[in-house]
Amino acid sequence: MKKKPNVKQAANKSAGILVKRVDANKDNGLGIVQKNYFKFALPPGELILESGEKLGPIIVAYETYGRLNEQRSNAIVILHALSGDAHAAGFHKGDKEPGWWDDMIGPGKAFDTNRYFVICSNVLGGCKGSTGPSTVNPKTGKKYGLDFPIISISDMVKVQKQLIDHLKIDQLLSVAGGSMGGMQALEWLTAYPDRLKSAIVIATALKHSPQQIAFHEVGRQTIMADPHWKDGHYYGGRIPAKGLAVARMIGHITYMSEISMAEKFGRRPGDEKPHKFSAGSEVEDYLQNRGDHFVKRFDANSYLYITRAIDSFDVSRGKDLYEVFKRIKSKVLVLAFKSDWLYPATQSREIVRACKLVGVDTTYCEIDSTYGHDAFLLEVDEETHLVKHFLQRVSVENGVRGKYGVMEYAI
Amino acid sequence: MPSETVPLEYRAILHWIRHGSSVLDLGCGDGALLALLVREKNVKAQGIEIDERSIHQCVARGLSVFHEDIDRGLSDYSDRSFDYVVLNQSFQQVKQPDIVLQEALGVGKKVIVGFPNFAHYLARLQIFFKGITPVTPSLPYEWHDTPNLHFLSILDFIAYCRQREIKIEDSAFIGQNRIIKIFPNLFALVAIFLISPLKSGGRSNGPSIWKNIPR
C-alpha cells in the first residue's frame, strides 16, 4: 500500500507553506539555519537583463545546507516556485515552521546534506531578501515599484549563476525545482550546459499554455483592480491586500485537484457565514485563509513581475527546440503527477520528447497522485526514492566522494 | 549476480550485444536485463516501462527509464538511434505488436524479440486432451488474468518475418533450464530472435540469412 501524507497536514503544506509543529531543537533535520546575502552588479557594472535594461546593484538572499567538499563537486542548487524563497529547509531562529522543502532537504533525506552542499536563493524580482520591486532604488531612495525593470526566468538564472561563481563552484552536481523552479532548471540546462552534471525538472513546462497564462492574468488583473494598488506605488500606505488575496485564491484552486478538494472539504458545521452568498463549504474558508495568509508574506508587485516572467518563459526562445536541446550535456530526471492539471503530464512528456530526440540521458516518471500540482511538495516518499537514487548515480559517475562508495546494482 | 544464475534467455541476449553499444529496452520491467547489460557489456542503456513500481526499481539500479506506454512512445525517436532495441516478453503484451515491431526496426539497427512459445508440446497436449486454455512454465497465467494479448508460436514468428521482409540474424530457443536444438517449436518454452530490416541490412557481415531456422 502506498503511504499517503496525512490530509490535514497536506492542507497546511499546500503550495509551500509547511505548517508542521516540530520543535526545532528536537528535529532531526538541519536545525537552525541562516540567511546570507550576496551583493553584485554594482554600478557601473550593472547586470544587463534579457530586456536590454540594466539593473544594479543586485542583492541575492541565499541559504546553504551541508558542506562543500574539497573538490567543490557536490553542490546542488534548489530552485523555488512562484511564492517560495531562499529558506528551503531547517528553521530560522524562533520559527515554528521549517523551510518550504524541508521534507526533501536534510541529513539522510532526498537531498542528503551529509553528502551534498545544497544552495537555495530567492529569485530576482522576489520579496524575500533578493532585489525586487519592493527594494529601495539607490538612484531615487524610494522603493522601485513599477520602475523595476521587467525580468525573465533567464534573468533569475543569470543571477543564480553569479552566486555560483561567487561561491567558486565551477560545476554543479545538480539543479532541482518544481513548477517555476522546473523552468529555471530547464534554463540552467540550456543556457549553461557546461556548468551542471544533472537536473531534476518537476511538474513544469517548456512554456506556458494559454490556459496557464489565463489563470495568471486573472490574478494580475485582480491586483491591478484593487484601488490600493495605485499603479504599484502603495509602499508606505495601504497594500492591495484584497487583490493579492484573490489572486492567491485563484492560484490555490489551480494547485489542487477535484479529488483532493473533495477529500479535504466538507460542509461547514453551524450556520455562521462569512457573507450572504456563502454556500457553506469549507473550501471557501480555506481559500480565504490562504489568501489572507499570503498577503502577510508576499508583495503584490513581486507577484506581477514573477507571474509575468513565468508566462513569457519559452526555453526555445522562439528557435528550434531541437537545436536548443542539443546543447544539453547533463543527465535529466523529469517528474510529473497524474492529477496535476495546471502542469499536466503531457507538458512533461514534451520535455522528455525533446530530450529523446537529441539523445539526452533522461529518466521520466509520472507519479500516481491525487494532490494536483501541490503533489510536488506532498508526494515526499516517491520523490525521495527517485531523487535520491538519481543523485547517487550522478555523484558516483562523477566521482563525488561519499559514504556510499561504488554503486551496487541490485541484481 | 554470478553468471550461473543469469537466466538462459539473458545469456543469449548478452551474447548478441556488442560491448559499448546502445540499447533501448521496451517494457524493461524492473531493469534486471538492462542492469546486466550495463555491467557486463558497458552499454548505454535506456528503458521504457509502463508500471510505476518498476520505474522505481529501475531508478534504484541506476538506470535511465521512461514511464511510458510502448504502444505509443516510439515515434519520438529518430531513425537508427539505438544499436539494439529489445522487446523481451513484452512483444506479446502490446496492443499492436506489428506496429511496435516496425517502429522498433526503424529506431534500432537490430531488434531482439523474446516471447513465450504457444506451440510448446505441453500447451498442445492441454488443448488437445483436456480442451482447456494451456498453462505452461512460460505461459503461467489463467485465461482471465493474463497480461498477454497475443499468442504466437515460433513458426508464426518466422512466417511473419518472411512476410514483412525482416531478416532473422540469429535465434535461441530455451526449454526448462536448457537450450533447445531440435524441434524448437515443440520443445522450446521461450524463443528469442535477433532480427534486422532486410532492406537496410542487405549485405550481412554477421550470420547468413535464415541461419538457425527450424524447419
B199–A contact, CB cutoff 8 A: no
In a domain, B37, yes or no: yes
Instruction: Mark whether A147 is an active-site residue.
Output: no
In a domain, B129, yes or no: no
Higher pLDDT, residue A114 or B208: A114
B143-195 residue pLDDT tens = 999 999 999 999 999 999 999 999 999 999 999 989 999 999 999 999 999 99
The answer to whether the CB atoms of A359 and B32 lie below 8 A apart is: no
Write the residue in A357, A386, A393 that is nearest to B78 by C-beta.
A357
Residues of A in contact with B38 (CB under 8 A): 409
A410–B contact, CB cutoff 8 A: yes
DSSP structural state of residue A130? S
- A279 CB burial (10 A radius; 0-12, 13-18, 19+): exposed
CATH of the domain at B191: 3.40.50.150
In a domain, B107, yes or no: yes
- In angstroms, how far is CA A104 from the centroid of its own chain? 13
C-alpha grid cell for residue A346?
Answer: 503531457
Q: Residue A12: what pLDDT?
A: 42
In a domain, B181, yes or no: yes
Answer for the pair A16, A46: CB distance below 8 angstroms, yes or no. no
Instruction: Mark whether A260 is an active-site residue.
Output: no
Among A114, A117, A208, A192, CA closest to A158: A192
Dist. CA A80–CA A104, nearest whole Å: 13
Mean pLDDT by groups of 10 residues along chain A of 411 residues: 41 41 59 97 96 97 97 97 98 96 97 97 98 96 97 98 98 98 98 98 98 98 98 96 98 97 90 86 94 97 98 95 96 98 97 94 97 97 97 91 42 28
A1–B contact, CB cutoff 8 A: no
Q: Residue A3: what pLDDT?
A: 42
In a domain, B127, yes or no: no
Dist. CA A110–CA A386, nearest whole Å: 8
B78–A contact, CB cutoff 8 A: yes
Answer for the pair B91, B84: CB distance below 8 angstroms, yes or no. no
Dist. CA A346–CA A365, nearest whole Å: 12
Higher pLDDT, residue A359 or B72: A359
B125–A contact, CB cutoff 8 A: no
Residues of B in contact with A349 (CB under 8 A): 68
Q: How many residue contacts between A and B have a Cβ separation below 8 Å?
A: 65
- As a whole number of angstroms, the longest Cα–Cα distance in chain B is 49
Domains and CATH numbers, chain A: 7-208+314-397 (3.40.50.1820)
In a domain, B58, yes or no: yes
Write the residue in A364, A389, A393 that is nearest to B66 by C-beta.
A364
Among A312, A123, A314, A301, CA closest to A220: A301
Pairing of strands A58-65, A117-121: antiparallel
Selected residues 151-170 of chain A with any CB under 8 Å from a CB in chain B: none
DSSP structural state of residue A5? -
- Measure Cα distances from A380 to A102, A353, A358 in Å: 10, 26, 31
- Measure Cα distances from A298 to A83, A128, A216, A217, A403 in Å: 7, 8, 16, 18, 41
Write the residue in B32, B56, B66 that is nearest to A386 by C-beta.
B56
A362–B contact, CB cutoff 8 A: yes
Write the residue in A366, A382, A409 that is nearest to B35 by C-beta.
A409
Residues of A in contact with B52 (CB under 8 A): 365-368
Answer for the pair A75, A169: CB distance below 8 angstroms, yes or no. yes
The answer to whether the CB atoms of A407 and B1 lie below 8 A apart is: no
Residues of B in contact with A398 (CB under 8 A): none
The answer to whether the CB atoms of B61 and A409 lie below 8 A apart is: yes
The answer to whether the CB atoms of A365 and B46 lie below 8 A apart is: no
In a domain, B85, yes or no: yes
Answer for the pair A306, A299: CB distance below 8 angstroms, yes or no. no
In a domain, B67, yes or no: yes
Q: Which residue of B has its CA nearest to A336?
A: B67
Q: Residue B77: what pLDDT?
A: 86
- As a whole number of angstroms, the longest Cα–Cα distance in chain A is 66
Supply the range of the domain harboring residue B52.
3-117+153-197
Dist. CA A41–CA A201, nearest whole Å: 29
Residues of A in contact with B58 (CB under 8 A): 363
Instruction: Please identify which of the residues A179, A330, A348, A369 carries the catalytic annotation.
Output: A179
Residue tagged 520491467 (cell numbers): B29
The answer to whether the CB atoms of A361 and B64 lie below 8 A apart is: yes
B56–A contact, CB cutoff 8 A: yes
The answer to whether the CB atoms of B66 and A363 lie below 8 A apart is: yes
Q: Which residue of B has its CA nearest to A352?
A: B66
- Beta strands, E only, A122-190: 136-137, 142-143, 174-178
pLDDT at B206 over 70: no
C-alpha grid cell for residue A330?
Answer: 547533463
A366–B contact, CB cutoff 8 A: yes
Dist. CA A251–CA A233, nearest whole Å: 24
Write the residue in A356, A389, A411 that is nearest to B36 by C-beta.
A411
Answer for the pair B169, B204: CB distance below 8 angstroms, yes or no. yes
Dist. CA B26–CA B73, nearest whole Å: 10
Residues of A in contact with B67 (CB under 8 A): 364-366
Instruction: Mark whether A299 is an active-site residue.
Output: no
Q: For chain B, how many structural domains are there in total?
A: 1
Give 3-state DSSP helix, strand, coil % of chain A, rounded to 5. Answer: 40, 15, 45
Looking at every residue in chain B, the average pLDDT score rounds to: 90
